[in-house]
Amino acid sequence: QGTRDHPPAYTALRDRLLAAVVTCFKRHGAAAIDTPVLELRETLMGKYGEEAKLIYELQDQGGELLALRYDLTVPFARYLAMNKITNMKRYHIAKVYRRDNPATTRGRYREFYQCDFDIAGQFDPMIPDAECLKIVHEILSDLQLGDFLIKVNDRRILNGIFAVCGIPESKFVTACCTVDKLDKVPWEEVRGEMVGEKGLSPEAADHIGEYVQLHGGLELIERLLQDPKLSQNKLAKEGLGDMKLLFEYLTLFGITGKISFDLSLARGLDYYTGVIFEAVLLQQENEHVEEPVSVGSVAGGGRYDGLVGMFDPKGRKVPCVGVSIGIERIFSILEQRMKASGEKVRTTETQVLVATPHKHLLAARLKLISELWGAGIKAEMLYKKDPKLLKQLQYCEDTGIPLAAIVGEQELTDGVVKLRDVATRVEVRM
Spatial strand order of the sheet with 427-429 comes to: 379-380, 352-355, 403-406, 418-421, 427-429
Give the span between the Cα atoms of 122 and 225, in whole angstroms.
26
Q: Is 240 in the same domain as 362?
A: no
Q: What is the pLDDT of residue 166?
A: 87
Residue 347 forms part of a structural domain: no
For residues 1-10, give the mean pLDDT.
Answer: 78
Listed residue (19, 2, 55, 9) closest to 327, CA to CA: 19
Cα gap 116→24, rounded to integer Å:
12
Residue 193 to residue 185: CA distance in whole angstroms: 11
- The pLDDT score that the predictor gives to residue 293 is 53
Q: Count CA atoms within 13 Å of residue 368 on its CB side.
A: 25
pLDDT, tens digit, 9 for 90 and up, residues 315-372? 899 999 999 998 888 887 887 788 888 777 888 999 999 999 999 999 999 999 999 9
Q: Are residues 315 and 360 in the same domain?
A: no
- Packed helices 8-27 and 327-341: angle between N→C axes, nearest 10 degrees: 130
| Residue 86 is labelled as binding a ligand | no
Say which range, 22-26, 199-203, 276-280, 389-393, has the weakest mean pLDDT. Answer: 199-203
To the nearest whole percent, how much of the chain has pLDDT over 70? 96
**How many angstroms separate the CA atoms of 297 and 330, rounded?**
9
- The answer to whether residues 272 and 155 touch, using CB atoms and an 8 Å cutoff, is yes
Please indicate, yes or no, whether residues 274 and 380 belong to a single structural domain of this protein. Answer: no
Q: How confident is the model at residue 270 (pLDDT cuts 50, 70, 90)?
A: confident
Last residue of a domain, one of 341, 363, 383: 341
Lowest-confidence segment of 32-41, 124-133, 265-274, 321-330 by average pLDDT: 265-274
Same domain flag for 330 and 419:
no
Please, which residues have CB within 8 angstroms of residue 35's CB and are 6 or more apart in sequence? Answer: 69, 72, 75, 76, 78, 79, 92, 94
Residues 51 and 82 in one domain: yes
pTM metric for this prediction? 0.86
Closest CA to 393 of 357, 365, 417: 357
- Whether residue 99 is annotated as binding a ligand: the answer is no
Rounded distance, CA 248 to CA 256, Å?
Answer: 9
Over its C-alpha atoms, the chain yields an Rg (Å, rounded) of: 27
Using left for φ > 0, alpha for ψ between -120 and 50, and beta otherwise, residue 424 falls in: alpha
Q: Is 73 annotated as ligand-binding?
A: yes
191 annotated as ligand-binding: no
- The answer to whether 267 is annotated as binding is yes
- The DSSP code sequence of 23-80 is HHHHHTTPEE----SEEEHHHHTTSSGGGGGG--EEE-TT--EEEE-S-SHHHHHHHH
Q: Which residues lie closer than 8 Å to 312 by C-beta, 6 or more apart?
A: 81
| Statement to judge: residues 371 and 329 lie in one domain | no
Q: Which of 45-49, 370-374, 415-419 has the lowest mean pLDDT?
A: 45-49
15 annotated to bind ligand = no
Name the residue with higher pLDDT: 127 or 197: 127
Residue 423: CATH number of its domain: 3.40.50.800
pLDDT above 60 (res 292): no
What mean pLDDT do residues 89-113 have?
85
- E-strand ranges in 214-319 read 215-216, 259-262, 275-283, 293-303
Domain limit, last residue, from 341, 365, 382: 341
In this structure, what CATH number is given to the domain that contains residue 104? 3.30.930.10
DSSP 86-150: --EEEEEEEEEE-----BGGGTB-SEEEEEEEEEES--STTHHHHHHHHHHHHHHHHTT---EEE
Sign, CA dihedral 195-198-203-209, equals negative
Q: Note whether 228 and 114 are same-domain residues.
A: yes
The answer to whether 114 is a known ligand-binding residue is yes
The answer on 84 and 15 residing in a single domain is yes
pLDDT band at residue 384 using 50, 70 and 90 as cut-offs: very high
Tell me: do 292 and 408 sit in the same domain.
no
The residue range of the domain holding 405 is: 352-429
Same domain membership, residue 311 and residue 390: no
Q: How confident is the model at residue 282 (pLDDT cuts 50, 70, 90)?
A: confident
